[in-house]
A and B are shown apart, each in its own frame.
Chain A
Amino acid sequence: MTTLAVPRFLPVFKIPLLDRIAYPATAVFVLIALVGPWIAPHDPYQVDLNQALLAPGAGHWLGTDSAGRDILSRLLAGARTTVLSSVVVTVGAAVVGIVVAAVAALGGRVVDEVVMRVCDIFLSIPGMILALGVAAALGPSLRSTIIALVVALWPAFARLVRAVLRETMASTYVESARTLGVPPGRLMLRHVLPNSLDSLYVQAALDVSGVIVLMSGLSFLGVGAQPPSADWGAMVADGREYVTTAWWVATVPGLAITLTAVVFGLFGDALRVRLDPTLGD
């Protein structure tokens, strides 16, 4: 249902095992994102051309890049930009989506139709292309990448949330609140939204992994975080020229992107198994 082809990881995995892996792994990644810059063994921005393109070894565990910067340190420093801004994008898109969906759900048929057709227009453009266009138009920077991705991703959330809200609006407890005379705003905030958000948490957690890949993609294409800031996508782009001679420069951040996306995907799946009553055990 989203513009991202969000992979559904391990759909038939048994619950306890999934929980045991997913929650701690997510916690570790979030922790790394928070404290990464302080535990980096070297200065991630220290250029030393004598140390350029060193293979992984004792001094530099994951090697150095073409400017002699320590790749492990840059990974740790970049974790914050990559992981945290992906979370920011997802939360931003979710909030915009919820607000739009709530307006559509309360606004009656005409408002609903207009809002949903606007969503359709956005959804008809591939998310990556839309984000690329918006980010380029705003000028390449981390902030424009975040804005661009929110612009690209909110319609998918709005659709999902609207469908769930409509279902909740038809429930008997919402109807009984209406017959009691509860005004629309309170009806939405107290009765409809609290009983609708479970599926949204799942979608958001799953989307974080897709957003990480998208963000890295935008950086790789040059519209994301700008050099010399350590960003995983930009690091992959830097290492492109050396893939045959110094494989680690592109491969290590590439693996980091993959691993993070997988961990957040697992987290989303674990949440889904826990919260979705149709996936009962």
Chain B
Amino acid sequence: MLTADGLTKRYGRFTAIEDISFTLHAGEVLGLVGESGSGKSTTVRCLVGLTKPDAGQVRYAGPKFRRGVQMVFQDPYASLNPRMTVAEIVGEGLLVHGIEKSSAGRRSRVGGLLEQVGLDKSDMDRYPRSFSGGQRQRIAIARAIAVEPKVLICDEPVSALDVSVQAQVVNVLRDMKLELGLSILFIAHDLAVVRYLCDRLVVLDGGRIAETGTREQIYANPRAPYTKSLLAAVPVPDPAAERLRRSAR
């Protein structure tokens, strides 16, 4: 669905990403993992066109890239216009892409979208400030899926949220994938979430791809040394297994 082909971006003498190539296939969830500074954000910004890469290109297998590729940002406190109501925020894509021209029609579509992400229809006339982080991220997801995209890019969509609501938002994303047949590019540094959600992984290290593989391959048998250390840092929620793992190291 979406292909990165040799993406490279330099800021002055600093190389943020170099020769990043991967493909997001239809219907899959692809995890893009790596620690801070590994180039995840730059890759995403190049993919959605917020940053122009110095070399390489992005290919989208479908018409209307702007409608077909949508994004959920990391910080739900910053990604919603504070001066627009939820109805305006979620309905804007319907308006600008000419999907639903009448305002009454948009309101009813927005109501349905809000319920789809687990919010209430009556929330649509409130402003973002009256919602919690988890609710705001649901609004952002509703905004993204409103235009019926084929690809959803989620840039660390739960890392700014309380642990208690992270799982809820991840489940909303998984439900959306199942219901709408979305392809999802999921950027994260939390490997537990990635393991739960992703079919395939691309591991970034220092602006380059360190390893690519299916979830099973990478979790069972990480090849790159960087992936091994990344996996070793994930706590295992079982004291016995954790002790075993530590002694094995």
Contact = CB atoms under 8 A, between A and B. Distances in A.
A42 B91 CA distance: 60
Given A176-B71, A186-B96, A181 B66 contact: yes
Interface in B161-205: none
B81 interface: yes
Interface string A173-205: 111111111110010001100110000000000
Contact of B80 (A173, A178, A181, A183): A173
Interface in A81-96: none
Interface in A141-175: 171-175
B73 A180 contact: no
B73 A176 contact: yes
Contacts of A194: 83
A171 B79 CA distance: 8
Contacts of A171: 78
A195 B69 CA distance: 26
Interface in B111-165: 140, 143-144, 147
B82 A182 contact: no
A251 B143 CA distance: 63
Contacts of B109: none
Contact of A172 (B78, B96, B97): B78
Interface in B62-91: 66-67, 69-71, 73, 75, 78-84
Given A172-B73, A172-B75, A175-B50, A180 B82 contact: no
Contact of B82 (A173, A177, A183): A173
Nearest to B71: A179
A177 B80 CA distance: 9
Contacts of A173: 78-82
Given A175-B50, A186-B96, A190-B84, A180 B143 contact: yes
B49 A179 contact: yes
B93 interface: yes
B48 interface: yes
- Which interface class (under 10, 10 to 19, 20 to 34, 35 or more) fits B? 20 to 34
B79 A181 contact: no
B18 interface: no
Contacts of B147: 180-181
Contacts of B81: 173-174, 177, 190-191, 195
Nearest to B72: A176
Contact of B96 (A174, A182, A195): A182
Contacts of A176: 71, 73, 79-80, 140, 143
A195 B82 CA distance: 8
A179 B78 contact: no
B131 to A, nearest CB: 14
A172 B80 CA distance: 8
Nearest to B80: A173
Interface in A30-68: none
Contact of A182 (B50, B73, B75, B92): B92
A186 B93 CA distance: 12
Nearest to A187: B96
A179 B83 contact: no
Contacts of A181: 66-67, 93, 96-97, 147
Contact of A180 (B75, B78, B84, B92): B92
A99 B49 CA distance: 26
Contacts of A186: 96
B179 to A, nearest CB: 21
Nearest to A186: B96
A182 B70 CA distance: 12
Given A179-B49, A180-B96, A195 B70 contact: no
B92 A177 contact: yes
A178 B92 contact: no
A172 B79 contact: yes
Interface of B: 48-50, 66-67, 69-71, 73, 75, 78-84, 92-93, 96-97, 140, 143-144, 147
29 contacts: A173-B78, A175-B50, A175-B73, A176-B71, A176-B73, A176-B140, A176-B143, A177-B81, A178-B49, A179-B49, A179-B50, A179-B70, A179-B71, A180-B66, A180-B70, A180-B93, A180-B144, A180-B147, A181-B66, A181-B93, A181-B96, A181-B147, A182-B92, A183-B96, A190-B81, A190-B92, A191-B81, A194-B83, A195-B83
Interface of A: 171-183, 186, 190-191, 194-195
Identify the 4 closest CB pairs spanning chains A and B, nearest first. Answer: A181-B66, A172-B78, A173-B81, A172-B79
Given A173-B81, A180-B147, 20 more contacts: A171-B78, A172-B73, A172-B79, A173-B78, A173-B82, A176-B71, A176-B143, A178-B50, A179-B48, A179-B50, A180-B143, A181-B66, A181-B93, A181-B96, A181-B97, A181-B147, A183-B96, A190-B84, A195-B82, A195-B83
